[in-house]
Every structure is written in C-alpha cells, then in structure tokens.
Amino acid sequence: MDPAERPLQQPIEERELSGEWPSQRTGKRPKLDKFFRAMVKYGASDLHIRPGTPPYLRVDTMIKPTTSDPPTAEEIEAMASELMTAKQAAFFTEHGSIDVAYEVPGGDRFRVNVYRQRGRVSMAVRRVTRDIPDFATLHLPAVLEKISQAHQGLVLISGPTGSGKSTTIASMLEYINTHRPCHIVTIEDPIEFLHENRKALISQREIGIDAESFESALKYLMREDPDVVLIGEMRDRDTFQAALQASQTGHLVFGTVHASGAAQTIGRVLDLFPADSRDLVRQALAFNLRAVICQLLLPSIAPGVRRVPAVEILLSSPSVRQLIEDRRDTELPDLIRAGEQEGMKTFTRSLLELIEQGFIDPKVAYDHAPNVDELKMVMKGITTSRTGLVGR
C-alpha cells in the first residue's frame, strides 16, 4: 500500500496512557504551532491542511492559499500524531475521523478535526478566540443588554450560516459573565469563543471532545447546577425539548436556529415536533420565550468596519404570547413593527438605521430587504401599517 494512503499508525507504546500528548511530555511545541500563529496573525477562523496542496486559511469567510510548501502525507501524519493521546489515536485508526483540541497557554484554543479523504490524512483547524467583542463593538442594539438581564426563559438567535449568531451569543454571555454571579454551562459544536471566569463561573463543553453528543451532554445538564445554559444549535426535537424544559425550571437558556425571521423561527421550532403535539409546544413556547433575535451580516462601507448586523428582534409580551398560542405566527411582523418603541425591531427598520448611520450602501439594503418596496417607502419618510399608509 502507498504510504500516503495507509491509515495513520499511532506508536501507542511511546505514549503516556495518562492522556498526555507527546508534545506535552517533551515540552516542545507541536509542528502545527507555526500554523496556529499564522491564524492569529491574519485573523483566520479556519485552516485546511491536505497532502500535495499548500495550506489554506479562511479569512473574512474567504478561503485563501498560503505561500507555505505543500506538506506530504507523512508530514501531516506526524503533525496529527503530536496532538493525539493513545486513546484518541486508537479511535482515529478505527473510525477515520476525530476532533482534538490544542490550547496556547493564555492564548487562543484550536479545534483540530483529523480525517481521511481519498485515503489520506487531512486536517481542518478552527480557531477559538478569547477576544469577545461587546454589543457596541458589534453594532448590536442596546436592547440585547436588557434581554441578557433576564434570569429565566428561552432566547433564540436565528439566521443563516455565517450570520454571526455565535458571536452575538458570546457577547450576551460575556455581559452576563461580567454582571452576574452565576454558573454558565455551554454545550457547543464547536466552541467558538473562550470565556474566562469573571463574576460568573463558566463551564464550556465541546461535542466530540468533552461530550460524545448533544444527547449525552444534555442528559446530565441539570446535574451540573447551571443558571444560564447555551445549547449551540436546536437541531432536533430532543435538543429543543431539553432547552424548553430547562427554561421552564428557572434557567435562562440560549439557543440557535437556522431561520430567516422571527415568525419563521417559531415555525422552524414547531416543525421539529409531530403535528399532534405542537399545540402543547406552542403553549410552552408562548409562556417561556423571552426573545427572538434574527440577524444577517452585511458588508459595511464605514471606515474600519468590515461587516455589520441587520437584526430583527421579537420580545415577549402578552400580545406575542397570544399570537403564538392562537397559531397566528404570520401576524408577528406587524406586532414587531408596532412594538419598535419598546425595543422590538423589524429588518426594514434595522436596514434603514444602518443606511442612515452610514454603515451600508442602499443597494446592499435592497438586496437583503424582506420587502424592498416597504424599505423604499420608509426611506422616503413613509411607513406602512396593516390598514394602509400613515405618516412617519
């Protein structure tokens, strides 16, 4: 067999069964260290290493090749070997893929997925930073501070992939961390920001490294005495049910959903459940929901600002609860529009503010507006209501 195509062979007899990496025992930095430092230098979120091609970095969502020489299969095997314990090496040999983590003391953390493709060992590295921006730095509405002050309920952050959901949640958790003595437990896949204990105690669990699956992590969640919980993604019924139960028992729960608006977020959650149980889920959701924050990341024209979020915000209120219970989700956008003075916000209003503040070009706003005609009207000083046109 071609050496480049054979599975990574781990010299188990040379490893400490205590779970240390070879580089930990020798005190030497792993060969991947230069790539870790390059990721920090260029602000890269991801690194891809494959045999025969130069390493690639993902910077500002774009994948770009580096000028480094293409590594050989043997070199990649050696780099991966340095990061794995005996148990991890055996798992990789059997399954062909494994997640391992490396943390620079006092610096960033790196999640390394070692996998086989075309019979060869490759690696995908995700950088996890300690630099957590606050609401003002992210250009997020001030109402997120009020939402973060809640002690119980469910907060859903929705939007497409790459819309900044994880960054927004990290900022909200960091606000809690600096203002409230409590225990924050996160279940993430992967961990994207590292939180340090401030007023709060923070326990971060990563799927594939600290827990086998979301299901196993959620099974013991309540035994960990949490006050605030982050469940990285509401991807199935069991995950959302666990989040809902935690919010019903006096916890503040954050979760992410792939949806394009507040009403769609409610619908996406309900679609996880069979039709005959959705009314009960609606009642629980209506009572425990605190907020839905749906966002998009848009390219900015402001100096020194690369991207800004456009957000739609739904806050819990008696009217919101009534609409959810009565299956009138399609009326939620009208209610958000009517509640803008109380902190709610439509995408149209958010886009208008970003234009007025000089953050985005009107053409970008038109391309992402849920209703282009409405946006053009409010830009001319006209707003719409369900009964017609009214002066702004």
E strands, 3-91, where?
46-49, 56-59, 62-65
CATH code at position 269: 3.40.50.300
Cα separation, 139 vs 238, in Å, equals: 34
Indicate whether 5 belongs to any domain: no
Number of domains in the chain: 2
Residue 191's pLDDT is: 86
Same domain, 116 and 197: no
Residue 21's pLDDT is: 41
Residue 6's pLDDT is: 37
- Supply the range of the domain harboring residue 286: 135-391
Look up the pTM and report it.
Answer: 0.81
Q: What is the pLDDT along the chain (392 residues), one digit of tens a residue?
A: 443 333 333 332 333 223 444 444 445 678 888 899 899 999 898 999 999 999 999 987 789 999 989 999 999 999 999 988 888 889 999 999 998 888 887 788 898 999 999 889 999 999 988 889 999 999 999 999 999 999 999 999 999 988 999 999 999 999 999 999 999 999 998 888 999 999 999 999 988 888 888 888 998 999 999 999 999 888 899 999 999 999 999 999 999 999 999 999 999 999 999 999 999 999 999 999 999 999 999 999 999 998 999 999 999 999 999 999 999 999 999 999 999 888 999 999 999 999 999 999 999 999 999 999 999 999 887 655 444 444 33
Count of residues making up the chain: 392
Same domain, 139 and 120: no
Indicate whether 201 belongs to any domain: yes
Last residue of a domain, one of 106, 128, 150: 128
| 1 CB-near residues (< 8 Å, 6+ apart) | none
Contact call for residues 268 and 294 (beta carbons, < 8 A): no
3-state helix, strand, coil in the chain (%, to 5): 40, 25, 35
Indicate whether 3 belongs to any domain: no
Last residue of a domain, one of 86, 102, 128: 128
Residue 125's pLDDT is: 95
Same domain, 113 and 242: no
Same domain, 124 and 139: no
Residue 154's pLDDT is: 98
